[in-house]
Chain A
């Protein structure tokens, strides 16, 4: 598999918003018929929800190890009846961690960092005018939101009834209100602090309602921010946008990609938050990939393709983990299992106690005819809580479920991804136009305008613009030569061609394993390597050629027989992108027999016109894997150890999480130490990281004979809402670990959270219209958060679409380094990833940590042999 193919596969984990399953998906074969009734019984297909899924209930769990902020806290008494309402979020603050704080609202880290109290902005670089995808939210002067508590005597449970009783007094409270059953928000103040009114129920009971003013909220209070987001969702609904997951989509102009039965809905993702200077709406274009085929259609197709024998396994492999959308009520579920013993004629017990078959239920309830009575049923383990009860598994009928998102196969289909990219990757000018359309829609819609007016709010009609800085490009150093590269391309493969590497490792003794079919490919490869290696300064002997059968065992046997302690590297030419062979080879050579290895799919070398370029890349990659060094940039900071951390979560097997840990070993940042932590669910990630840091310091000492005086950690793989855990648990553990090294050892620590998935976009003003901002663009004003020491950096270039800036949040810093220095250092580190002779999106240690975690998570499943730990064997 090529590195790119593997990297592509990773997209699925990032893009799909699926929680990890509560239990590992049961293997299909293990379902005994006797278990069946019990499995089906407790579940009624849900009666349609009044409201689509409450936002925020789903999402990534990047740190699943029991983040201790009480995710499953019981809800306070008296709120039981408040189910499924768009206003549910209002009570977010009251209900503690039940709903994720996606924007990490309550975490104020800047206040503890002394040297950035006055200013957190950098200074170097040239100014550049930017437009962003942010709109200011405006409220009239002296605006306030009035928060009331509403009490009932005698107590009334049902939310509907509570609302109905309260709104019998519309003349008192007015037409504009937001009410979740106990908290009432009004745009105006009532005459009295406490108002008592009486309402009559249908049973002629008198209920006393006490409306008490509890708060007068200024526009920037946290409760107000939640309130704005609720009101904004109301507006989106008014504009007839369909909510799917957390975002809203317009179903009226879908883009269809018929070859794959795909449909793409354009839509928006939006959030309103307090930013540096003002409260703003951040809106971005989002696309939802839907499929106009049902799970049953998909199963038929698969059956025809592969026949009966492997059908069940193939179904499980392709379907488990996918998210489906029900035909009849628009709910989304994750498939956790397929029950081959079940079928639509199975019955379940309804809430009134009667037994009914699925066929009959769907016919009566939704007029949906199920035509295939022999189809299996899908099982989804619902994770959402209803009150304090954890609901049982949900049974779904394949014929009534649409597939959503992309399968692994589709992602690997280059042509399809290309087709998709045409629609989803908008160039800056177009993206900006689409974002502006959201505000235009709002301005044209009378209902929306009225709602906003009633609340005394409005949105700026123009996108926010301001000046950012572009820091200067770096010089690339390679064995005495210094290069400038074209900052527009952010790539120096041309410039460094034919220049010796900083440190080259000889290929004296190496193996080349191939199948008979690929004999020619193997030979061509060797010839090409002989052509490209001399100019790099790599000494190379002819490889030991080993021909094997195209079976995994044959490869392994060859390795067992031929690898010696003197072997520099093993090269395997694979005939297909089948993962099992790759996994087996990597597993053997990373654990039992620690030797660097390079795999290549034969097809990659099949085109003569690209063969040389590929040979060059392979030579560089192999050199790095053996401990060689390619280039460096100037790093003025001395005695500093850089650490990169990233996580990989196996969403399919659902059991393991892997953290990759990488730390620099030398001043030039050309050598890296690495370890990984494999842990099952429920274990604390942080314990493993502590051990990693300890060994990293030991290794640093071995290399340098002293300990680093500064440690800078780039922490990637932090999910939305996980910041609090990091600040309160992980950082203290790091400090603890440093303390344990020695009493007189007191290094300075900086922890920076790296976030790639942000909705922020920047558009640079140029003579030719809006363009992507150039690499090196730093933004630390306006769109950053006042309570954080954070900045955005655009380090990479993209060929099509919009560049996505990376967000850096310094959550702990005792270094006293100026913001400018942190920003520059970060940018420098983005130049140091050896698998790409150009600038990348994140600092190299993060990308290395990612590669390591991915390799371990996908192929090795346990910590690789520490003999390899000072080499980039995972590239």
Chain B
């Protein structure tokens, strides 16, 4: 069910820019941008290219692929793993990507509760028996809010050189617009969906009557979401085999949130401490005759931090201070930094998250640093 190379043959006469397969994927991406689904499944996901594109869409929290052939999925599925960057700066949203091996003619409860199900160039690969089961599985059982089905428009085939019968040897059929639309309308009616038809791959000027090269049906469920998952979990067992699962680091996960908050708090406090000490130092060092090292003087220490919080009046109790070898950075002050504020939301939450991870003053109101052992180099 590989979708890419088949366009090669078009190039002799008709070329699509961008290539047709990309147009189909862009179509889905635009749809995702419009409806902002949280759970998306791609049936017949093949080499996972669409899934890979969709993983960058920040609305999606669950992304699932299904294909009958495990090896074609395995070939590129490593692209779906989180990247180093995802770990370095965990995202706000959570994201789980799963790949299953199985048939669209079989029901598996793991496919329940989706907002969007896409079937890009899938149905024409189904055997007659499978095609018969397909509507019941997708519209009856999975019953997502939106289903997108794309398939070749056979009326377009005469414009494609070298296409004798079908565009691909594995195609079991190719429909004209009327065939597809009547099948789609019947299915929509039966399962209480509305359907609209469109397509990608415009015909050349003067040949508009051929229709799009790829025809697309967008089905929208008319009834509200039922608590559908309960309906069949007892009737259907698991039939799909999970071949891949990746859970992306997310700030929704307490573990990553805590790491992020602790990191931000310590870094902020550290920067303030350095700045405070630098300020104090520059007051002491009057006769530093090196022009370059004078910069610390020209920049009053707290200057740039205030920039970050606008015209906020800094209370006296929020000022960092030095007491002997100890430097105190009040938590309230740290909390006023946009990034910390944004991560924690409330001050109590901040305190809870850093408890035991950051050295605090005895009353717990400030981060404490001991400067005694610093600069002990030799």
**Chain B 343-378 near chain A by CB (<8 Å), digits 1 or 0:** 000000000000000000000000000000111111
In the complex the two chains form, is A517's CB within 8 Å of B169's CB? no
* Complex partner residue of A251 from B17, B57, B84, B264, CB under 8 angstroms: B84
Closest to A369 in B: B58
* Complex partner residue of B376 from A48, A50, A367, A414, CB under 8 angstroms: A414
Bound CA span A236–B105, Å: 35
Q: Does B262 have its Cβ within 8 Å of any Cβ on chain A?
A: yes
Residues of A within 8 A of B290 (CB): 550, 575-576, 578
In the complex the two chains form, is A258's CB within 8 Å of B378's CB? no
Residues of A within 8 A of B2 (CB): 164
> Smallest distance from the beta carbon of B102 to chain A beta carbons, Å?
19
Bound CA span A370–B2, Å: 34
Closest to A161 in B: B5
Contacts A164-B2, A254-B87, A256-B259 given; indicate if A200 touches B82 (C-beta within 8 A): no
Bound CA span A50–B375, Å: 47
Closest to B291 in A: A551
> Smallest distance from the beta carbon of B142 to chain A beta carbons, Å?
26
In the complex the two chains form, is A402's CB within 8 Å of B169's CB? no
* Complex partner residue of B79 from A50, A550, A603, CB under 8 angstroms: A50
Bound CA span A604–B295, Å: 24
* Interface stretch of the complex, out of A324-332, A584-592, A862-870: A324-332
* Interface stretch of the complex, out of A237-245, A623-631, A686-694, A846-854: A237-245
Contacts A259-B270, A325-B84, A330-B83 given; indicate if A202 touches B169 (C-beta within 8 A): yes
Q: Does A204 have its Cβ within 8 Å of any Cβ on chain B?
A: yes
* Complex partner residue of B83 from A254, A259, A329, A515, CB under 8 angstroms: A329
Contacts A261-B263, A352-B18 given; indicate if A328 touches B85 (C-beta within 8 A): yes
* Complex partner residue of A607 from B56, B89, B374, B378, CB under 8 angstroms: B378
Bound CA span A414–B373, Å: 11
Q: Does B252 have its Cβ within 8 Å of any Cβ on chain A?
A: no
In the complex the two chains form, is A263's CB within 8 Å of B304's CB? no
Residues of A within 8 A of B168 (CB): 202
In the complex the two chains form, is B79's CB within 8 Å of A258's CB? no
> Smallest distance from the beta carbon of B96 to chain A beta carbons, Å?
14
**Chain B 198-211 near chain A by CB (<8 Å), digits 1 or 0:** 00000000000000
Q: Does B172 have its Cβ within 8 Å of any Cβ on chain A?
A: no
> Smallest distance from the beta carbon of B375 to chain A beta carbons, Å?
8
Residues of A within 8 A of B162 (CB): 203
Bound CA span A607–B375, Å: 12
* Complex partner residue of B88 from A51, A290, A307, A367, CB under 8 angstroms: A290
Closest to B4 in A: A160
Q: Does B299 have its Cβ within 8 Å of any Cβ on chain A?
A: yes
* Complex partner residue of A352 from B9, B17, B270, CB under 8 angstroms: B17
Residues of A within 8 A of B169 (CB): 200, 202, 204
Q: Does A2 have its Cβ within 8 Å of any Cβ on chain B?
A: yes
> Smallest distance from the beta carbon of B47 to chain A beta carbons, Å?
9
Residues of B within 8 A of A261 (CB): 263, 267
Q: Does B293 have its Cβ within 8 Å of any Cβ on chain A?
A: yes
Bound CA span A327–B329, Å: 32
Bound CA span A234–B377, Å: 45
Residues of B within 8 A of A327 (CB): 83, 85, 89
In the complex the two chains form, is A330's CB within 8 Å of B84's CB? yes
> Smallest distance from the beta carbon of A295 to chain B beta carbons, Å?
13
Closest to A327 in B: B85
Bound CA span A535–B342, Å: 66
> Smallest distance from the beta carbon of B50 to chain A beta carbons, Å?
14
Q: Does B78 have its Cβ within 8 Å of any Cβ on chain A?
A: yes
In the complex the two chains form, is A244's CB within 8 Å of B85's CB? no
Contacts A2-B378, A200-B169 given; indicate if A251 touches B82 (C-beta within 8 A): yes
Q: Does A610 have its Cβ within 8 Å of any Cβ on chain B?
A: yes
Bound CA span A340–B81, Å: 34
**Chain A 254-293 near chain B by CB (<8 Å), digits 1 or 0:** 1010111101000000000000000000000000001110
Residues of B within 8 A of A740 (CB): none
Count, chain B residues at interface, CB 8 A: 48
**Chain A 1-12 near chain B by CB (<8 Å), digits 1 or 0:** 010110000000
Bound CA span A304–B265, Å: 19
Q: Does B283 have its Cβ within 8 Å of any Cβ on chain A?
A: no
In the complex the two chains form, is A604's CB within 8 Å of B299's CB? no
In the complex the two chains form, is A258's CB within 8 Å of B84's CB? no
Contacts A251-B82, A330-B83 given; indicate if A50 touches B76 (C-beta within 8 A): yes
Q: Does A415 have its Cβ within 8 Å of any Cβ on chain B?
A: yes
> Smallest distance from the beta carbon of B291 to chain A beta carbons, Å?
9
Q: Does B223 have its Cβ within 8 Å of any Cβ on chain A?
A: no
> Smallest distance from the beta carbon of A269 to chain B beta carbons, Å?
17
Contacts A292-B263, A576-B290 given; indicate if A203 touches B9 (C-beta within 8 A): yes
Closest to A549 in B: B289
Q: Does B190 have its Cβ within 8 Å of any Cβ on chain A?
A: no
In the complex the two chains form, is A330's CB within 8 Å of B259's CB? no
Q: Does B13 have its Cβ within 8 Å of any Cβ on chain A?
A: no
Q: Does A70 have its Cβ within 8 Å of any Cβ on chain B?
A: no
Residues of A within 8 A of B78 (CB): 51, 237
In the complex the two chains form, is B57's CB within 8 Å of A367's CB? yes
List B15-74 residues whose CB lies under 8 Å from chain A: 17-18, 52, 56-58, 71
In the complex the two chains form, is A258's CB within 8 Å of B263's CB? yes
Q: Does A767 have its Cβ within 8 Å of any Cβ on chain B?
A: no
Residues of B within 8 A of A202 (CB): 5-6, 168-169
Residues of A within 8 A of B58 (CB): 367
> Smallest distance from the beta carbon of B116 to chain A beta carbons, Å?
16
**Chain A 200-218 near chain B by CB (<8 Å), digits 1 or 0:** 1011100000000000000
List B88-109 residues whose CB lies under 8 Å from chain A: 88-89
> Smallest distance from the beta carbon of B46 to chain A beta carbons, Å?
12
Q: Does A306 have its Cβ within 8 Å of any Cβ on chain B?
A: yes
> Smallest distance from the beta carbon of B267 to chain A beta carbons, Å?
5
Q: Does B266 have its Cβ within 8 Å of any Cβ on chain A?
A: yes
Q: Does B230 have its Cβ within 8 Å of any Cβ on chain A?
A: no
Contacts A48-B79, A204-B164 given; indicate if A330 touches B85 (C-beta within 8 A): yes
Closest to A412 in B: B377
Residues of A within 8 A of B298 (CB): 307
> Smallest distance from the beta carbon of B260 to chain A beta carbons, Å?
9
Residues of B within 8 A of A329 (CB): 83
In the complex the two chains form, is B378's CB within 8 Å of A367's CB? no
Bound CA span A167–B52, Å: 25
Residues of A within 8 A of B267 (CB): 258-261
In the complex the two chains form, is A367's CB within 8 Å of B81's CB? no
Q: Does A366 have its Cβ within 8 Å of any Cβ on chain B?
A: yes
Bound CA span A436–B56, Å: 37
Residues of A within 8 A of B71 (CB): 167
Q: Does A614 have its Cβ within 8 Å of any Cβ on chain B?
A: yes
Between A259, A366, A368, the greatest number of chain B beta carbons within 10 A of the residue's beta carbon is seen for A259
Bound CA span A517–B89, Å: 46
> Smallest distance from the beta carbon of A253 to chain B beta carbons, Å?
10
> Smallest distance from the beta carbon of A17 to chain B beta carbons, Å?
16
Closest to A49 in B: B79
List A328-343 residues whose CB lies under 8 Å from chain B: 328-330
Bound CA span A813–B226, Å: 84
Residues of B within 8 A of A48 (CB): 52, 79
Bound CA span A507–B305, Å: 54
Residues of A within 8 A of B265 (CB): 258
Between A48, A244, A292, the greatest number of chain B beta carbons within 10 A of the residue's beta carbon is seen for A292
8 A-B residue pairings within 8 Å (CB atoms):
A260-B270, A306-B295, A307-B295, A307-B298, A365-B56, A367-B56, A368-B56, A402-B85
Q: A258-B266, A261-B267, A354-B17 are in contact. List 15 more A-B contacts (CB 8 A).
A: A161-B5, A242-B84, A258-B262, A258-B264, A263-B87, A290-B84, A327-B85, A352-B18, A365-B56, A366-B56, A402-B84, A415-B373, A549-B289, A550-B290, A575-B290
> Which residues of B line the A interface, CB within 8 A?
2, 5-6, 9, 17-18, 52, 56-58, 71, 76, 78-79, 81-85, 87-89, 162, 164, 168-169, 259, 262-267, 270, 287, 289-290, 293, 295, 298-299, 304, 373-378
Cβ-closest 7 pairs across A and B: A258-B266, A367-B56, A258-B263, A327-B85, A330-B83, A259-B270, A304-B304
